[in-house]
A and B are shown apart, each in its own frame.
Chain A
């Protein structure tokens, strides 16, 4: 397996306050693999996905680093070439199916527009491709659904439409940003199974942003645990759940409630662990230690 996405030493900060959002992040996503990005809110997990897709908020800027997509350094390209390179090879499954679709336009054109306008597909080809991907995500009567407006679909169906839209142009990389947090637990399972199935069938690399370690265990191959924009652990899912390496990620796992082990006590992340990881962040900022010292498994 070759590495399809490789983020190297990426640092991002806020333009006005110079506050660091990402600290020398290294992440590799091999072709066809699923990598989870986990952390608490504000840890920078979504920021990595945004940087990869070239949609960092205006207030943020890249300080240093490289993002190799299929071997090409995105940050070294002109903005126009970068946009085209990302558009041709990567796609996003957004978090909230309620706001990601335009409420005043029908489903069909929202899928085909990108194919026609940006990727230059013929209209007929884009239309039949949209039908094909909608049936692939198990939407019954795709042709009818393409003529509906988003409000006529349930939350789960809307998320299926967004998944279909992401897979439509056969991208080699998909960034999924908390795609199931707005959904019920039973719908979440169906949607995650669907994403995992399509990902495996098409050999798509998947960067999966989530706050839920349970979801990581179910669908990811690798994971990176973030704290304050620093990757504190980067390992395989099997090794992580057998024995997390970093004290902070171990504490995060211990704080996750489990219905199958109700007697084990639910432990918040202890203050000394937080102090230690904050110290590590400060040491990285001061240049005393490398950002990602240990890589294994």
Chain B
């Protein structure tokens, strides 16, 4: 598959289980990822979904080499990066960017927005690439002089996106980046991401616990459970003809804004209710 940007084979991640560590000697290993294999096609938007503790964040972090895999292999653009050391990874880091969940903790509160975006470029806040990135995420140029605490949640998340796209990456990993936002802001950020992906030819991996968001944004879905991939399909397939029971269970648990299917009991009759709610 020459078209794959990422190719992951039997990737395993284990961590020492400190709760069961004997007084002397090494702790037993706890398996977080139990051998996952998948490909990310160039230009694809891949959704990674699962419950808490399913390993979706660990998978993302192993993919961008923030966590050392204990077995298996990762090919990035045809090159084996599984165990590259920091110095060898460095030239690739520009091409692999991340957007984080909580912009309040991933944006330095003491730097202006301009300097935050310029820092990874090794440039000054006045660099034209900073202006271009602000423009791409729909923030006015005056924001370069502001500090993160002066911005709203959605604006901060745009700064995080601007910092990533300013590097002109091939690949962006977005980990739960809309989960703290109100629906309207969430819609703005999702629309922005879709536009950037098609305008800049990005490849995106989008980690979320929210299937409705994944359905909107992604063309392929990995459903994770207990450290393994239980479903790997196109978004349309996974949502309309899920092959695994767990995917079906997740889909059935989404609260769709449709009162005709109720959880518990049918709504009280509108007539009874209005009679009851008349002012005393």
| Size bracket, chain B contacts | 35 or more
* Chain B residues whose C-beta falls within 8 Å of the C-beta of A297 in the assembled complex: 270, 273-274
For residue A218, give the distance in angstroms from its CB to the closest CB of chain B.
4
The digit string for B64-83, where 1 denotes a CB below 8 A from any CB of A, is 00000000000000000000
Is the beta-carbon distance between A30 and B276 smaller than 8 angstroms? yes
* Chain B residues whose C-beta falls within 8 Å of the C-beta of A236 in the assembled complex: 267, 270, 273-274
Interface centre among B52, B190, B265, B277 (most CB of A within 10 A): B277
Give bound CA distance, A297 to B66, whole Å: 55
Judge whether B42 is part of the interface by a CB distance below 8 angstroms.
Answer: no
| Closest residue of A by beta carbon distance from B188 | A268
Binds A, one of B32-40, B114-122, B125-133, B249-257: B249-257
Give bound CA distance, A74 to B280, whole Å: 16
* Chain B residues whose C-beta falls within 8 Å of the C-beta of A257 in the assembled complex: 183, 186-187, 190, 210, 212-213, 215-216
Chain A: interface residue total (CB-CB under 8 A): 60
* Chain B residues whose C-beta falls within 8 Å of the C-beta of A262 in the assembled complex: 215-216, 235, 239
Interface residues of A in 1-24 (CB under 8 A from B): 1-3, 6, 8
Is the beta-carbon distance between A186 and B249 smaller than 8 angstroms? yes
Judge whether B184 is part of the interface by a CB distance below 8 angstroms.
Answer: yes
Is the beta-carbon distance between B257 and A213 smaller than 8 angstroms? yes
Known contacts A2-B276, A221-B273: does B249 contact A255 (CB below 8 Å)? no
| Closest residue of A by beta carbon distance from B235 | A262
Interface residues of A in 189-212 (CB under 8 A from B): 189, 192-193, 195-197, 199-200, 211-212
Binds B, one of A54-62, A123-131, A164-172, A237-245: A237-245
Is the beta-carbon distance between B264 and A188 smaller than 8 angstroms? no
4 other contacts beyond A185-B254, A186-B253, A259-B215, with CB at 8 A cut-off?
A40-B182, A196-B262, A220-B267, A257-B216
Contact surface of A with B, Cβ cutoff 8 Å: 1-3, 6, 8, 26, 28, 30, 33, 40-41, 68, 155, 184-189, 192-193, 195-197, 199-200, 211-222, 236-239, 241, 251-253, 255-260, 262, 266-269, 295-297
Contact surface of B with A, Cβ cutoff 8 Å: 51-52, 182-188, 190-191, 209-216, 235, 239, 249-259, 261-265, 267-268, 270, 272-277, 279-280
